Structure formats: structure tokens, C-alpha cells
Amino acid sequence: MKRVLSGIQPSGNLHLGNYFGMMSRMIKYQEENDLFCFIVNYHALTTIQDKKTLSKNTLNAAIDFMALGLDPERSTFWIQSDVPQVCESTWLLSNIVNVGLLDRATSYKDKMAKGLKPNVGLYSYPILMASDILLFGGEIVPVGKDQKQHLEMTRDMAIRFNQIFGDVFVVPELDIEKTNQLVPGLDGQKMSKSYGNTIPLFGPEKAIRKRFMSIVTDSTDIDQPKSIDTALYQLYALFLNEDEQKELAERFATPGMRYGDVKQDLFECFWTTFSPYREKRDYLLNHKDYVLGQLKAGAEKAGAVADVYLSKAREAMGLNYGDAIV
Ligand code: TYM
């Protein structure tokens, strides 16, 4: 049984990229593993600085994850800020990280390039993320491809820390799905909240249908075969098994296919697939106390693990001065 661990930011509506890149995989993993999963509201502070928005998004993200099948009675599921030890370990790790490493972080560079004024939190984001993983002994970390560099940095930090201070942290393995590494958004770029090209997992039917209908397609003539190297095909394929994907590819190759019809079918497929999750979500929204109780229990379990790693790290670094010979 491996400790499989991952986190997600509550920075808006969760979307299909989050679902196929990480959430659905975590939910599958929980069947045979020791799953640790959390909502990273400390990370979200780097961009959301409004009390109501952050607290609402945080609880919503937890409810969405549980509605999709994350079982808090089987797994350890918590809100990042309920285990504040992670901030202390971030400070400990900060001292073994060269600023050059953070300068090279692509997510930070991307945000800079978009003209966002970076705060120190955004800059040191990868250290908090490493802390999230190392403090709980995460062995396998399922993420989308966009998190690859962060995971490599985490591994570097664990190795470096262990070299300097002795074996304290587990060096985690990155786990990226072979086929759904990066789910495309409406415009074919990576689906991302910050690009405004997402399809949300939950929301009013009319609004979500509209999102599906706005998937960007080309102007290939109706009596020509259509390319499958497109967002529309790739998004549809996420819901299909191998045989069904072949059928869809044939449909694309056959002249006469209308993009509008495929978009409608894809929406129906999505809506049906997510129907039980919508019901579960409605149930959880009406049982908020149960959700809060589970999150609290999760934080206690996670906190106990964090305490063990943190005390090892403190000891290894010389912070327990009581035993010093003077
Ligand atoms: P976040 O909140 O941006 O995304 C959560 C997860 O969804 C994946 N993802 C995608 N996968 C495929 N295609 C896409 N278009 C797509 N968009 C998002 C992400 O790769 C991620 O796995 N830094 C992290 C959160 C984090 C974390 C951690 C993850 C904080 N601490 C510790 C793992 C372990 C983030 O911002 O993910």
C-alpha cells in the first residue's frame, strides 16, 4: 500500500482539466492505497485576496471532490490551512533552496509574463508545495503535466535536505497519466482557470452547454474529413473507451459530420456522466456539518503525520537545542 498524495487549489470552479488530470485518478487510487488529499487554500492566497471568495471556494472545492467520489472515511482529506505545520516546514526547506531554482519556475515566469505583479508567496509557491508533499511522506503524486516542474523541484529539495541533514524525507515519485497529460481548453490551449477557457464540472445546464458549444473548431468544409488533432476530439475522447474512440475517429474521418452535432453529443455525454455526482453534491450541500466534521477528522489524521516528519526535521537541523553540549 503506497501513500498517494495530491492537492488542488480552490481558485475558482473546478474544471474538466482538474478532473481528468488529477481528481478522477486520485479517486481511483483510493481503492488500493493510503490516499492523502487536500485543498490548498494557502496556495490560493497568492492570487485570491478576498475573504468571502476564498472561504467559499475552499468549501466548494472540498464538496466537489467528495461529490465526485473522494471518500473521507477511507482516505485522509483535509484543508491545507488546518495543518499549519506545513508553514513551518516551508521555512525549514527555504533554507536549502537557491533563489535560482525559484527563478526558473515556469508557472511563476508565466504569471510574470502576463503582467501579474508577483508577491513573495507566488515566488516561493514551489517550496510550500514541496512542503505539502514531504511533510506527509507522499510516495506517489498524481498531477497533470503542468505540475511536472514543481514535482521535480520537490524531489530536488528532498534529496538535498537528506544529503545535508540525514534521511528525513521520502523522495516522491511523479505520476502523470500517459494519455490525459494536459486536457485542452475551449481554445485548444491547456485548460486553465487563468486562461478563461475552462469547462466547469458543476453549474447550470444552460451555461455549461454553452461552454461546450463554444469549443473552437476549424472551417473545414462539411463534405471533408475532419482532423482529430483538435480540442473537440480530445475532449470527447476523455469520456470514451478505446473502441468508442475509434468509432469517434471514424466519425471525424467521414464527410458530412457537423461539428455542432458532435458538440451536442459531447455535452449530453458529459451531462449524463456527471449526473450522479450532481446529486451527491446537492446532498452534501445540504449536509454541510457532515462535510466539516470529515474535514476536521482529516486534518487531525494529517496533522499527526506532519508532526512526526516535522519533529524529525527539527531534530536533524539542530532546532532541539536542549541536548546540546555547552
Ligand atoms: P491546480 O489547482 O492548478 O490543479 C489541480 C490539478 O489539476 C491538474 N490540472 C490539469 N491536468 C491536466 N490538464 C489540465 N488542463 C489541467 N489543469 C489542471 C494539475 O496538474 C493538478 O494536478 N500546485 C498545484 C496544487 C498543489 C499540489 C500540492 C499538487 C499544491 N500542493 C502538492 C500536488 C501535491 C496546483 O496549483 O494545481
Q: What is the DSSP string of 243-276?
A: HHHHHHHHHHHSTT--HHHHHHHHHHHHHHHTHH
Looking at residue 85, what is its pLDDT? 98
Instruction: Select which of 2, 28, 190, 246 is catalytic.
Output: 190
Q: In what order do the strands lie in the sheet with 76-79?
A: 76-79, 34-39, 3-8, 140-142, 173-175
Ligand 1 centroid vs 195 CA: distance in angstroms? Answer: 15
Report which ligand 1 atom has the smallest distance to the Cα of 18. Answer: 7
In a domain, 278, yes or no: no
Host domain of residue 129: 3-183+288-323
With a CB cutoff of 8 Å and minimum separation 6, the contacts of 36 are 3, 4, 5, 6, 75, 76, 136, 138, 302, 305
The total number of residues shown for the chain amounts to 326
Question: 247, 273, 299: which is the final residue of a domain?
Answer: 273
Q: How many other β-carbons are positioned within 10 Å of the β-carbon of residue 264? A: 14
Q: Are residues 9 and 99 in the same domain?
A: yes
Ligand 1 centroid vs 226 CA: distance in angstroms? Answer: 31
> Is the CB of 263 within 6 Å of ligand 1?
no
Strand partners, 142: 175
In a domain, 191, yes or no: no
Q: Are residues 165 and 301 in the same domain?
A: yes
Helix, strand, coil percentages in the chain from 3-state DSSP, rounded to 5? 55, 10, 35
Q: Which residue's CA is the closest to the ligand 1 atom numbered 16? A: 17
DSSP collapsed to 3 states, 92-122? HHHCCCCHHHHHCCHHHHHHHHCCCCCCHHH
Q: What is the CATH number of the domain that holds 244?
A: 1.10.240.10
Looking at residue 109, what is its pLDDT? 86
Q: What is the CATH number of the domain that holds 103?
A: 3.40.50.620
Q: Are residues 246 and 299 in the same domain?
A: no
Strand partners, 77: 37
CA distance 98 to 220: 50
Active site (annotated) includes residue 111: yes
- The C-alpha cell of 137 is what? 511522506
> Is the CB of 132 within 6 Å of ligand 1?
yes
Looking at residue 277, what is its pLDDT? 98
pTM of the full structure:
0.95
Helix (H, G, I), strand (E, B) or coil at 174: strand
CA distance 92 to 101: 16
Q: Are residues 166 and 212 in the same domain?
A: no
Q: How many other β-carbons are positioned within 10 Å of the β-carbon of residue 139? A: 19
pLDDT in tens, the chain (326 residues): 999 999 999 988 899 999 999 999 999 999 999 999 999 999 999 989 999 999 999 999 999 999 999 999 999 999 999 999 999 999 999 999 999 999 999 878 888 888 878 889 999 999 999 999 999 999 999 999 999 999 999 999 999 999 999 999 999 999 998 877 899 999 999 999 888 999 999 999 999 999 999 999 998 888 999 999 999 999 999 999 999 999 999 999 999 999 999 999 999 999 999 999 999 999 999 999 999 999 999 999 999 999 999 999 999 999 999 989 88
> Is the CB of 154 within 6 Å of ligand 1?
no
Count H helices, E strands: the chain? Answer: 16, 5
Q: 193-203: buried (b, 16+ CB within 10 Å) or exposed (e) per residue? A: beeebbbbbbe
Active site (annotated) includes residue 193: yes
CA distance 263 to 258: 9
Q: Are residues 301 and 160 in the same domain?
A: yes
Q: Are residues 241 and 119 in the same domain?
A: no
Q: Which residue's CA is the closest to the ligand 1 atom numbered 9? A: 18
Q: Are residues 116 and 256 in the same domain?
A: no
The amino acid sitting at 210 is K
CA distance 254 to 209: 25
Instruction: Select which of 56, 193, 280, 312 is catalytic.
Output: 193
In a domain, 193, yes or no: no
In a domain, 19, yes or no: yes
CA distance 201 to 285: 15
- Cα separations (Å) of 260 from 66, 181, 209, 213? 33, 26, 12, 7
Ligand 1 centroid vs 237 CA: distance in angstroms? Answer: 21
CA distance 256 to 258: 6
- Total of domains in the chain: 2
Active site (annotated) includes residue 210: no
Q: Are residues 73 and 220 in the same domain?
A: no
Q: Are residues 261 and 295 in the same domain?
A: no
Q: Are residues 267 and 292 in the same domain?
A: no
Ligand 1 centroid vs 17 CA: distance in angstroms? Answer: 9
DSSP H helices, 46-184, are 51-68, 85-94, 99-103, 106-113, 120-123, 125-134, 148-165
> Is the CB of 143 within 6 Å of ligand 1?
yes
Q: Are residues 164 and 102 in the same domain?
A: yes
> Is the CB of 128 within 6 Å of ligand 1?
no
Ligand 1 centroid vs 147 CA: distance in angstroms? Answer: 6
> Is the CB of 122 within 6 Å of ligand 1?
no
Q: Are residues 116 and 15 in the same domain?
A: yes
